[in-house]
């Protein structure tokens, strides 16, 4: 049986709808190409344009100064991520589950630093633990010795924590709110202690939030520049190294290679974390 | 199967509950549940059934003065994890990060049971609840009925002293609910654990309960066996909530109700200006016109298959529902006689 009109119109509509969707994607494609892919490609090429060519990439790992910085940065970012997750999980869980006077103020205070750039965070660390800082003042009065750690790796670590805890707390609080209290009650009815409930029910349910917010914390810590710059620390982190190679030594090839390396390593570790957490969820479930 | 003894006896003493926001969810209630008895808490939504169940479970603390005793021992201050109760939640609350087998075995693992022993016990429960083949499934790969079975298996696995079920069949569709109801009934009888079962469905309550506690607005309206609650409700709320009921208000003279359609003997010698009585639809017999003590006109005839549901008017102050055998020949507009055995007429207190 032949059909007229409607089906043919239908076909035409779908066709034009399809091309319409493609048309809408065009600006995105253009922006991606112009501002993302092209500079990226240029960066990768620049990394191999030094006097050693492609071996310039190898130098990131071979050269002790670069390698040391790389390891420092990864360790610092990892430590920041882990401590942030622990602190933010405990705080987020408590804040989401308890109602007490001053709760709203406390949440506001905890999330206040969200707006601060790394420079301000660095500044605050100096105010706290710098040469004229609060801790130095106090320790001087109490033990006659000035404790100053703002310019060490501890100061940097504290700054990174300060920077990432607010972001992670908000994610964890949202995830805790969505937890099914019935699951915890069920576990308890089966004899689970409060610790066992956390281990077997709550933490597995929060795992996706840990991966998501942990990834952001890690990537942010890997690339953080403002805090390190303000503290002018005596330890080097990768973004600082890139900065000095680029502006002071005008070593474009090395700074490009380091940049690509920073991106790759961050991406690799995040991918590993994601697949690991994915496989544990699959294995458990 | 041996489910490990027959559970504990439960006593609830003056347990009321006022929530932090001021909601009076439960008036102080006192209740005894015998060892291995199945007690059903029945009532409309919001009447406090879940609250009472959670107090027994140890998930909710009763207001000051309330006490919960298991086998005579005061457990009011004991948290749920130490009460050894098996609980089936309305939402089932199965662990999404564990397989079916791990869900069932969770309580055993917490108790430190060795792996082989645990596997054997899980297999036992899988067979008991008819879920063979699903052991390695994830929870989101199960149907509603399968989830219900897993939740039950998990609760029973730990050989609890008391089994608590909160509307375990409400989330299922009607056909499945009927099938699982009889299955659940067989299982509860087989296990013989003290069971407290919450439902708003009176058919479920009748089939499963040794005794039924009918609740209304946070208070106990009546406690009794299904037969007692059905045949001799002590107040109008129970009469209307459990089964279908005609509630008739009429003057009574020397044990006879004075109805527009005639004088109806209700037993006894009582006289009252206004009596309130309950008459179940299936206790009314339709007879030839002029033969019963009361006469009426058929307003509606509904053929339901196993019976006829008639609506007749003119007999009492309001239309009466009558359940007649499906062989009765009655048409709309027919004049009929009605006869009702005096024992079937239940006089209710006038204030309820
Ligand atoms: N945590 C709570 N806080 C305040 N009110 C509650 C809480 N839990 C239940 N209620 C209220 O208590 C009453 C009884 O609730 P519930 O026991 O759940 O009834 P049912 O299980 O019979 O439907 C309802 O009015 C309900 O809104
Ligand atoms: Mg309920």
pLDDT above 80 for B11: yes
Window 194-223 of A, Cβ < 8 Å to B: 196, 200-201, 204-205
CB contact under 8 Å between B95 and A201, yes or no, is: yes
In the three-class reduction of DSSP (H, G, I as helix; E, B as strand; rest coil), residue A174 is classed as helix
Chain A residues in contact with B99 (beta carbon < 8 A): 285
**A213 and A265 belong to one structural domain:** yes
Beta carbon pairs, A and B, within 8 Å: 68
d(CA B119, CA B123): 6
Provide the mean pLDDT of chain B: 91
**A175 and A83 belong to one structural domain:** yes
Is residue A53, in this structure, part of any structural domain at all? no
Higher model confidence: residue A238 or residue B60? B60
Name the minimum distance, in Å, from the CA of B14 to any CA of chain A.
24
CA of B49 to the centre of ligand 1 (A): 8
B37-82 pLDDT per residue, tens? 999 999 999 999 999 999 999 999 999 999 999 999 999 999 999 9
Least confident of A101-110, A182-191, B101-110, B147-156: A101-110
Quick one: pLDDT band at residue B173, thresholds 50, 70, 90? confident
- Contact of B95 with chain A, judged by CB distance below 8 Å, is answered with yes
**A12 and A91 belong to one structural domain:** no
d(CA A96, CA A103): 10
Is residue A143, in this structure, part of any structural domain at all? yes
Q: In terms of DSSP bridges, do strands B162-166 and B67-70 run parallel, antiparallel, or are they unpaired?
A: unpaired
**A149 and A182 belong to one structural domain:** yes
Q: What mean pLDDT is predicted for residues A71-77?
A: 91
Q: Residue B95's closest chain A neighbor by CA?
A: A183
**A103 and A73 belong to one structural domain:** yes
A2, A36, A270, B85, B302 from A275: Cα distances, Å: 53, 26, 9, 39, 63
d(CA B120, CA A195): 27
CB contact under 8 Å between B110 and A190, yes or no, is: yes
Sequence-distant (6+) residues with CB within 8 A of A88 are A165, A168, A169, A172, A213
Structure tokens at A51: 């006097």
- Mutate one of A186, A200, A206, A279 to test the B interface: name it (highest B CB count within 10 A): A186
B50 lines ligand 1 (CB under 6 A): yes
pLDDT above 90 for B31: yes
Is residue A23, in this structure, part of any structural domain at all? yes
Is residue A10, in this structure, part of any structural domain at all? yes
**A64 and A91 belong to one structural domain:** yes
Please state whether A5 falls in left (phi above 0), alpha (psi between -120 and 50) or beta: left
Name the minimum distance, in Å, from the CA of B61 to any CA of chain A.
14
CATH number at residue A99: 1.10.3720.10
Name the minimum distance, in Å, from the CA of A186 to any CA of chain B.
6
**A148 and A110 belong to one structural domain:** yes
Is residue A34, in this structure, part of any structural domain at all? yes
Q: What mean pLDDT is predicted for residues A72-89?
A: 93
CB contact under 8 Å between A186 and B158, yes or no, is: no
Provide the mean pLDDT of chain A: 84
**A26 and A101 belong to one structural domain:** no
Is residue A54, in this structure, part of any structural domain at all? no
Sequence-distant (6+) residues with CB within 8 A of B228 are none
> For residue B226, which phi and psi values (nearest 5 degrees)?
-55, -40
Q: What mean pLDDT is predicted for residues A175-191?
A: 94
**A220 and A249 belong to one structural domain:** yes
pLDDT at residue number A257: 86
**A230 and A256 belong to one structural domain:** yes
B239-255 pLDDT per residue, tens? 999 989 999 999 999 88
pLDDT at residue number A14: 65
Which of the listed residues B19, B27, B87 should we mutate to test ligand 1's pocket, taking the one with most ligand atoms within 8 A of CB? B19
Chain B residues in contact with A180 (beta carbon < 8 A): 91, 93
B44 lines ligand 1 (CB under 6 A): no
> For residue B286, which phi and psi values (nearest 5 degrees)?
-90, 130
- Contact of B172 with chain A, judged by CB distance below 8 Å, is answered with no
pLDDT above 90 for B179: no
Which DSSP letter does residue B295 get? E
**A38 and A76 belong to one structural domain:** no
Name the minimum distance, in Å, from the CA of A61 to any CA of chain B.
40
pLDDT above 70 for A141: yes
B308-340 pLDDT per residue, tens? 999 999 888 889 999 999 888 888 999 999 999
Is residue A67, in this structure, part of any structural domain at all? yes
d(CA B53, CA A114): 45
Q: What mean pLDDT is predicted for residues B127-153?
A: 93
B47 lines ligand 1 (CB under 6 A): yes
pLDDT at residue number A1: 44
pLDDT above 80 for B224: yes
- Contact of B88 with chain A, judged by CB distance below 8 Å, is answered with no
C-beta of residue A168 within 8 angstroms of C-beta of residue A213: yes
Higher model confidence: residue B328 or residue B87? B87
Window 276-315 of B, Cβ < 8 Å to A: none
Domain carrying residue A79: 60-277
What's the predicted TM-score (pTM) here? 0.81
**A162 and A98 belong to one structural domain:** yes
Quick one: pLDDT band at residue A243, thresholds 50, 70, 90? confident
Higher model confidence: residue A211 or residue A234? A211
Partner residue facing B89 (CB), from A182, A193, A196: A182
- Kindly tell me the burial class for residue B4, based on how many C-beta atoms sit within 10 Å of its own C-beta (0-12, 13-18, 19 or more): middle
pLDDT above 60 for A6: no
pLDDT at residue number A8: 52
Is residue A271, in this structure, part of any structural domain at all? yes
Q: How many domains does chain A have?
A: 2
Closest atom, ligand 1, to C-alpha of B166: 21
d(CA B151, CA B129): 10
- Contact of A63 with chain B, judged by CB distance below 8 Å, is answered with no
């Amino acid at each position: 049986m032949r059909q007229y009109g409607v089906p043919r119109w239908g076909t035409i509509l779908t066709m034009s709808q399809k091309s319409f969707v493609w048309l809408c994607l065009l600006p995105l494609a253009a922006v991606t190409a112009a501002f993302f892919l092209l500079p990226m490609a240029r960066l990768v090429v620049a990394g191999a344009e030094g006097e050693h060519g492609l071996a310039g990439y190898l130098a990131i790992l071979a050269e002790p100064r670069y390698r040391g910085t790389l390891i420092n940065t990864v360790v610092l970012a990892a430590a920041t991520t882990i401590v942030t997750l622990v602190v933010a999980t405990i705080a987020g869980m408590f804040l989401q589950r308890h109602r007490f006077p001053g709760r709203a103020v406390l949440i506001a205070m905890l999330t206040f630093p969200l707006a601060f750039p790394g420079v301000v965070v660095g500044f605050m660390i100096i105010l706290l633990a710098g040469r004229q800082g609060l801790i130095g003042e106090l320790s001087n009065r109490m033990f006659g010795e000035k404790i100053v750690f703002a310019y060490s790796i501890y100061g940097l670590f504290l700054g990174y924590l300060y920077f990432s805890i607010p972001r992670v707390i908000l994610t964890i609080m949202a995830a805790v709110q969505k937890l099914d209290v019935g699951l915890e009650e069920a576990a308890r009815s089966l004899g689970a202690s409060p610790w066992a409930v956390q281990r077997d029910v709550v933490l597995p349910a929060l795992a996706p939030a840990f991966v998501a917010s942990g990834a952001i914390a890690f990537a942010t810590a890997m690339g953080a520049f403002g805090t390190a710059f303000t503290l002018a620390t005596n330890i080097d982190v990768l973004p600082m190294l890139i900065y000095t190679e680029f502006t002071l030594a005008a070593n474009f090839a090395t700074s490009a290679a380091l940049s690509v390396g920073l991106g790759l390593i961050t991406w690799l570790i995040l991918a590993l974390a994601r697949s690991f957490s994915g496989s544990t969820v699959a294995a458990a479930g | 199967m041996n489910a490990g003894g027959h559970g504990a006896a439960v006593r609830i003493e003056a347990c009321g509950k006022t929530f932090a926001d001021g909601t009076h969810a439960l008036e102080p209630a006192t209740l005894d549940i015998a060892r291995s008895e199945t007690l059903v808490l029945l009532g409309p939504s919001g009447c406090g059934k879940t609250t009472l169940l959670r107090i027994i479970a140890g998930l909710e603390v009763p207001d000051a003065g309330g006490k919960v005793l298991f086998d005579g021992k005061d457990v009011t201050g004991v948290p749920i994890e130490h009460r050894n109760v098996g609980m089936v939640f309305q939402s089932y609350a199965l662990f999404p990060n564990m397989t079916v087998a791990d869900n069932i075995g969770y309580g055993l693992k917490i108790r430190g049971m060795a792996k082989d022993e645990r596997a054997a016990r899980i297999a036992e429960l899988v067979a008991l609840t008819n879920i063979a083949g699903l052991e390695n499934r994830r929870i989101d790969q199960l149907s509603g009925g399968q989830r219900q079975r897993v939740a039950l298996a998990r609760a029973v696995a730990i050989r609890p002293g008391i089994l608590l079920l909160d509307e375990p069949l409400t989330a299922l569709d009607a056909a499945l609910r009927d099938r699982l109801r009889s299955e659940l009934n067989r299982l509860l009888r087989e296990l013989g654990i003290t069971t407290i079962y919450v439902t708003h469905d009176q058919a479920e309550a009748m089939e499963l309960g040794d005794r039924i506690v009918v609740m209304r607005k946070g208070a106990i309206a009546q406690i009794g066996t299904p037969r007692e609650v059905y045949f001799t409700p002590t107040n109008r709320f129970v009469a209307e909530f459990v089964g279908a009921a005609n509630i008739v208000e009429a003057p009574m003279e020397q044990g006879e109700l004075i109805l527009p359609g005639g004088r109806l003997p209700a037993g006894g010698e009582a006289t009252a200006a206004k009596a309130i009585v309950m008459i179940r639809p299936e206790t009314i017999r339709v007879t030839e016109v002029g033969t019963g003590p009361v006469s009426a006109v058929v307003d509606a005839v509904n053929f339901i298959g196993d019976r006829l549901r008639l609506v007749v008017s003119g007999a009492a102050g309001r239309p009466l529902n009558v359940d007649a055998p499906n062989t009765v020949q009655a048409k709309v507009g027919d004049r009929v006689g009605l006869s009702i055995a005096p024992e079937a007429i239940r006089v209710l207190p006038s204030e309820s």
